[in-house]
Each structure stands twice: as C-alpha cells, then as structure tokens.
Amino acid sequence: MKYRYLGNSGLKVSEICYGNWLTHGSQVEKDEAIACVHTALDEGITSFDTADVYANTAAEKVLGKALKGQRRESVEIFTKVYWTTGPGGPNDSGLSRKHIMESINGSLQRLRTDYVDLYQAHRYDVETPLEETMQAFADVVRAGKALYIGVSEWDADQIRAGHALAKDLGIQLISNQPQYSMLWRVIEEWVIPTSAELGISQLCWSPMAQGVLSGKYVVGKKIPKGSRALDEKGGSAVIQRFLRDDVLVKVKELKPIARELALTQAQLAIAWVLQNPNVAAAIIGASRPEQIIHNVTASDVVIPPEVMRQIDEVLGDIVERDPMKTHENAPRQRPS
C-alpha cells in the first residue's frame, strides 16, 4: 500500500480508501462487514470513509465497532453531514449550524471516537448561507472534533468560495469527494484544475463505475445474482446510467488491455483513477474480504502513457465529460 498527502496538508491517507456506502448496515451482515474492515487493515488500508446517512446511521455504528481496539492514531476516519438522518424533521438535513453541531456529536458517538480526521459536507446546501456552514465547521475543528474539513460533489465555484471562507476562518479545507472513473470524468475540466490551484485533493468514489468496469455485466447475459444492479436499497438506481449496451461493449474491450498489464479489469479501473495527480485516494467498497485483497493490488500501479491513450481510444464518446453534470446532479433544495 502506498500513501499520499491529502491536499496541502500534512495528513497522509492510503491510496486505497475503504468506504461503506451501500454495504455496512445494509447489504452486508455485521460479522462480514467487520471481517472486511479487518482485512482492509491487514492489507495496509488506513483510511476509512463513511457518512451519517449511510443505512441511516447504521454504517457508522458498524465501522465504529469494527475499528474498536485499533490504535486510533494509526487510522484516518472520514465521515459526512448533509443528507437526512433520524425521523426527517425540518432540521434533520442540510448544513445549518444546528444540523452540523448535532450531527458531529452523533457521528462521534456511533464511531466510538473523540474526533474524526476529516469531516465532509456531503453536498452543497443552497438553503444555508455558506458563511454559516463554514463557521460551524470551524467551530467543530476548534473543539477538536474534526482535524480537517472536506466537501463532496461541490462544483468548482462552490469549492473556491468554501476554500476562501475556510482560509479566513483559519481552518483547512483539503478535499473534495466526487464520483470519478474511466466512464465518468465530469470533474476534469473545472473541478480538478480549481482544486489543484487551491491545494485540494480528490477522494474518488465509484472508481469502478458501480462495478461496471469490472467486466461482470455483459450484453445479452442476465445480471449476476447478488450484484449491485439488483440492489433495491440504492445501488440499482445509481448504476443504471452505465448499464447500456454501448457502454458494456466498450468495457469488454478493456479486458485485453488489463491482461497486458497483468491486471484484472477491476484493478485497471482503480489504478486508472490513481494516475491523476490530483487524486489522493480511490474509495472501494466490498461485500467480501477477498474483494479487498484483490483490489488493493491497484495501489502503486503505473499505467504507461500509451496505455492511457489506448483506454481513451477504446472508450471513445461513451465517456461522460460534461462539467455541468456536477451542478445538474446537485440538490435543488434541502432534502426532507
């Protein structure tokens, strides 16, 4: 396992970060989830990403239990705030001071820790003044409940404004967590250049495009039993944009490229994300420990420039590059 600095901070994170969206407290039984976390630790993963909304707080509880007994200083724990938790009252979502302060306390209790290494705004809150949000984050940092601040799926202008306020308040906004893969490159035109200028890294979710880039979905064949595409709790909705015949045909053409590098298609997909110098880590999930053992191989893989060009040629115009997708997919109002 290799490690990279997160933004312009002194914090190092593992290139492969273990995330528990759609798994812990939902798809995967508790004992299996704990086994996955322990395997991640054994494989050198030190960074763990979760959110209060995952399985409506259950994912944080499972992660907290799984990390019990570990030396706290040896791991980096990331969580997030924005989406609705609890019964869904008027202040149970968003980035108001009230919701942030209540949410960080709840997350720390569930995670069984006094602080998180990174506290992230899970989306941009159009209903709360950004000044209020950043002041609340600054107070969380000063209270010792978070060491650094990050955001998730913010557009370039939002990142720039948040960074400026954070700097004025004397705190460090060091990361953005966007979707990024061979198939979904909407951050490349605006978000990554802005982030690089400001000293902000990307923590990328769905580097395998919800599993499509692993090659397990094939045109004309039934969707594999137990796969994310059949998960009615959330996974099936996200993956639909990639389950088109034209996409699956192109993805199949990546198999010989991966083979030439002695990689599987899943390992190639994760390694591809890590070739971007603005990326600090690729976030992977797992329902079985062996998946983690398999995928950490992508750490420290160097894909030659000519192979990167070959991948682009194969995928062609099925790649989504429109930078407006970051803005278009953002919430228009606070969830209720």
**Residue 229's pLDDT band (boundaries 50, 70, 90)?**
low
Helices (H) and strands (E) in the chain, counts: 13, 10
Q: What are the tens digits of pLDDT across the range 320-334?
A: 999 999 988 889 999
**Contact predicate 125/92, CB 8 Å:** no
The first and second tokens of residue 36, run together, are 């996955």
Query: Which whole-number Å values give the CA distances from 238 to 54, 144, 153, 268, in the listed order?
Result: 15, 35, 15, 21
The first and second tokens of residue 128, run together, are 């709360």
**Contact predicate 258/11, CB 8 Å:** no
- Collapsing DSSP states into helix, strand and coil, what is residue 318? helix
Alpha carbons 82 and 100: distance in angstroms, whole number: 8
The third-level CATH classification (topology) of the domain covering 3-328 is TIM Barrel (3.20.20)
Q: Mention every residue, 6+ apart, whose C-beta is less than 8 A from residue 200.
A: 7, 8, 159, 163, 173, 174, 175, 176, 194
Radius of gyration of the chain measured on its C-alpha atoms:
19
Alpha carbons 236 and 254: distance in angstroms, whole number: 23
Tell me the mean pLDDT in the region 20-43.
83
Query: Any idea which residues carry the catalytic annotation?
Result: 54
Alpha carbons 133 and 124: distance in angstroms, whole number: 10
Decide: pTM greater than 0.75: yes
- 173 φ/ψ angles, rounded to the nearest 5 degrees: -95, 110
Alpha carbons 239 and 180: distance in angstroms, whole number: 13
Q: What are the tens digits of pLDDT across the range 151-210?
A: 999 999 999 999 999 999 999 999 999 999 999 999 999 999 999 999 999 999 999 999
Tell me the mean pLDDT in the region 29-40.
89
Alpha carbons 208 and 214: distance in angstroms, whole number: 6
**Residue 223's pLDDT band (boundaries 50, 70, 90)?**
confident
Check pLDDT > 90 for residue 108: yes
What does the pLDDT read at residue 24? 64
Q: What are the tens digits of pLDDT across the range 231-269?
A: 665 556 678 889 999 999 999 999 999 999 999 999 999
Q: What are the tens digits of pLDDT across the range 62-99?
A: 999 999 999 999 999 999 999 999 898 999 999 999 99
**Residue 228's pLDDT band (boundaries 50, 70, 90)?**
low
Polymer length in residues for the chain: 336
Alpha carbons 99 and 84: distance in angstroms, whole number: 10
Alpha carbons 155 and 158: distance in angstroms, whole number: 5
What does the pLDDT read at residue 325? 92
| Residue 276 or 226, more confident | 276
**Residue 30's pLDDT band (boundaries 50, 70, 90)?**
confident
Check pLDDT > 80 for residue 286: yes
Alpha carbons 22 and 49: distance in angstroms, whole number: 12
| C-alpha closest to that of 11 among 149, 151, 179 | 149
